[in-house]
Structure 1
């Protein structure tokens, strides 16, 4: 039984996809495109460059946690509002918010294939 788009996105944020490349590959389409407006500008990532971003972030943080506050869906599109929390290597006992995000994901062939995202730092 396949998951609905909403349940798939929810499972993605609750998974180890941001730590484990095999899990990442289970959720994300090989033709992935992420269009990201952030405080540092506009970036476009594909399947490989997004994984490279995740890998480089993992070097700076002891852990990352995604706290989803809103998730809405219509057919194969899902909007998610979440806060990204981290524990730094320098201070692993304190979890702090590092950013606020709104993402709109589009599903294709049962995988997350496209994301339009905006974010700003929590500071």
Structure 2
């Protein structure tokens, strides 16, 4: 599978709200450098799984609407908007953030991420 196809499958999956699915995509040495509207966060494999576990407690569905995806070698850049449905209100889709991330793929897994996100 190409790096671009791997990333496409990742963003179409329920990995954002399901730690077991997330494990399938993350390299064990994964690190994400994340610049948020609140500041900088660096997350490793365990922190990403913990975040997914916490998110799964609040959301029944999460969707990434990808607008751009570009591959160069083992690097894939993705621009998307994240939406979710909460447990309290599963019928209404809620905007979460605009996101841009550059993924380095290693051993057919998400290895290194450089992420920027902004809520509106």
TM-score interval, normalised by the smaller of the two chains: over 0.9
Equivalences for 1:1-16 in 2 at 5 Å? 3-16=1-14
C-alpha separation in 1, matches of 2:20 and 2:58:
21
The residue number in structure 2 matching 1:85 is: 83
TM-score by length of 1: 0.91
| Pairwise CA distance, 1:64 | 1.1
Give the alignment partner of residue 48 of structure 1, picking from 46, 61, 70: 46
Equivalences for 1:1-123 in 2 at 5 Å? 3-121=1-119, 123=120
What's the RMSD between the two structures over aligned residues?
1.2
Structure 2: 5+ residue stretches without partners: none
The 3-state SS of whatever aligns with 2:17 is coil
Q: Quick check: 2:3–2:76 contact (8 Å CA) kept in 1?
A: yes
Aligned residues: 120
The more displaced of 63-72 and 85-94 is: 85-94
| Pairwise CA distance, 1:22 | 3.1
The 3-state SS of whatever aligns with 1:92 is coil
| Pairwise CA distance, 1:60 | 1.9
